[in-house]
Amino acid sequence: MLEDRLGRVSLVREPGVGFYPATAIIMVVAVIASLAAPQALSAGTPGERWGGARANRWYEEQPWPCGFNYVPANSISYTEMWMGYAFDAALIDKELALAQEIGLNCIRVVLPYVVWEGEPEAFKKRLDAFAGICSKRGLKVMFALFDDCRFGPIEDPVFGRQPEVVAGWYANGWTPSPGWKMVRDRAAWPRLERYVTDIVGTFKGDPRVWVWDLYNEPTNGIGDVSLPLVEQVFAWARAVSPMQPLTVGVWNGNARLNELCLRLSDVITFHNYGNAAALEKQILDLRAHGRPVINTEWMNRGHRSTIAGCLPVFQRHDVGCMLWGLVNGKTQTHLNWGHRPGQPEPDVWQHDIFHGDFRPYDPAEIQALKQALRAR
């Protein structure tokens, strides 16, 4: 089986950064390519994976994608961002104006199942309003439907008021979507299918929506139990026949997960928080699949994933890139992963490019982004 072959491939781990496919993957690219031809998914799914030619034509029609992952400064998590009490269109517009002034052209946000379950129609109205603000600011939207990550104690989100900030705790209120209990409980999956088909179906022909990132970092914290759901989400989304490409990003050294991502995605996406050399190595590995490559998470200054070092790599290889994140706020993502109260603050910010008062963290970074985008 292909996953067995991938399981034998050596993987490299950049200390403190995570796994990424090593050059050895190139040795099995021919095998992957031969088995990754467009094919129908599970029984009953009418859609097919885009062929490589279609995916490449789609990418060639785009401006060079250079954007960011976004959580408004007033929200402790994506769950809070989309709750009615926290969704602040005026604030979002002000923050996204900063991105427009730089010239950034794409934005990635995670959607919380729990908010859709609690008030589906109101949630979709907020999505529409958000997409409208993004369009006004020259940003195409990448919606991510699921997310296994948690950085605090909450495994299963609840509808309503979200936790308060714990000062010094990196993203203490971050919650997975839909939550680990539902991922494990297949009896709950028909509800997840309704969510996927409703959201993708509502926006499947909307030119403001650029890409569907179906699942952010599956297996993160929960393990391989989420792998069957990854494959199922592709089938549910394909059944709706969206005009946008589908993807799930390669983010660690899990061979089974990476096989799914590379076999099912229309365009190849990945996360890399390593230095410029590690980034370039992974780009070359992924380029061998013959499809567009877009990085959907990068920039960790402490790990030398910097704008000065990595942006030229993305430019040189014509690879899209979406850094983390925009305005520092309640998520406290300027702190290092795993940071807890009482620990010393890092010498440099991990993420984010603006202070809460909209001052640039480092004006040289802003200038480098502007120059790179003008050069395209």
Name every residue whose Cβ is closer than 8 Å to that of residue 118 and which is 6 or more positions away in sequence.
159, 160
Range in 21-35, 46-60, 69-83, 110-124 with the lowest mean pLDDT: 21-35
pTM: 0.88
Please report, for residues 70, 171, 211, 273, the alpha-carbon distance to residue 332 in angstroms, rounded to integers and kept in the order given. Answer: 13, 6, 27, 18
φ, ψ at 227 (rounded to 5°):
-60, -45
Q: Is the pLDDT of residue 28 over 90?
A: no
56 within a domain of the structure (yes/no): no
Please report, for residues 70, 72, 145, 198, the alpha-carbon distance to residue 161 in angstroms, rounded to integers and kept in the order given. Answer: 20, 16, 21, 24
- Tokens describing residue 257: 């997960």
What pLDDT sits at residue 375? 87
Mean predicted confidence (pLDDT) in 335-342: 97
What pLDDT sits at residue 376? 77
Long-range contacts of 35-44 (CB under 8 A, 24+ apart): 35/2, 35/263, 36/262, 36/263, 36/289, 41/231, 41/234, 41/235, 41/238, 41/264, 42/231, 42/232, 42/235, 44/235, 44/239
The torsion defined by the Cα of 294, 246, 268 and 235, in degrees rounded to 10, comes to 160
Cis peptide before 344, with omega less than 30 degrees from 0?
no
- Residue among 10, 39, 2, 49 at smallest CA distance from 26: 10
For 346, other C-beta atoms within 10 Å of its C-beta total: 13
- Residue among 140, 175, 172 at smallest CA distance from 333: 172
Rounded distance, CA 78 to CA 159, Å?
12
Mean predicted confidence (pLDDT) in 347-363: 98
- Residue among 284, 268, 219, 212 at smallest CA distance from 242: 212
Please report, for residues 69, 114, 225, the alpha-carbon distance to residue 156 in angstroms, rounded to integers and kept in the order given. Answer: 22, 9, 15
Mean predicted confidence (pLDDT) in 8-26: 36
- Tokens describing residue 59: 């990418």
124 within a domain of the structure (yes/no): yes
**Which residue did the predictor score with more confidence, 119 or 25?**
119
Reported as a single tens digit per residue, the pLDDT across 210-231 is 999 999 999 999 999 999 999 9
Confidence of residue 46 (pLDDT cuts 50, 70, 90): low
Reported as a single tens digit per residue, the pLDDT across 356-371 is 999 999 999 999 999 9
CB 49 within 8 A of CB 266: yes
57 within a domain of the structure (yes/no): no
Mean pLDDT of the chain, nearest integer: 90
| Range of the structural domain that residue 345 is part of | 2-36+65-375
Rounded distance, CA 315 to CA 232, Å?
34
Tell me the chain's radius of gyration from C-alpha atoms.
Answer: 19
236 within a domain of the structure (yes/no): yes
58 within a domain of the structure (yes/no): no
- Tokens describing residue 145: 């439907």
Please report, for residues 52, 63, 85, the alpha-carbon distance to residue 266 in angstroms, rounded to integers and kept in the order given. Answer: 8, 18, 36
CB 263 within 8 A of CB 32: yes
310 within a domain of the structure (yes/no): yes
141 within a domain of the structure (yes/no): yes
Look up tokens 């709706």; give the residue.
240
E-assigned strands of the chain? 11-14, 18-21, 66-69, 106-110, 140-147, 209-216, 246-247, 268-271, 293-298, 320-324
Rounded distance, CA 202 to CA 177, Å?
19
What pLDDT sits at residue 80? 98
The total of structural domains in the chain comes to: 1
Please report, for the domain that includes residue 284, its CATH number: 3.20.20.80
319 within a domain of the structure (yes/no): yes
Reported as a single tens digit per residue, the pLDDT across 60-88 is 999 999 999 999 999 999 999 999 999 99
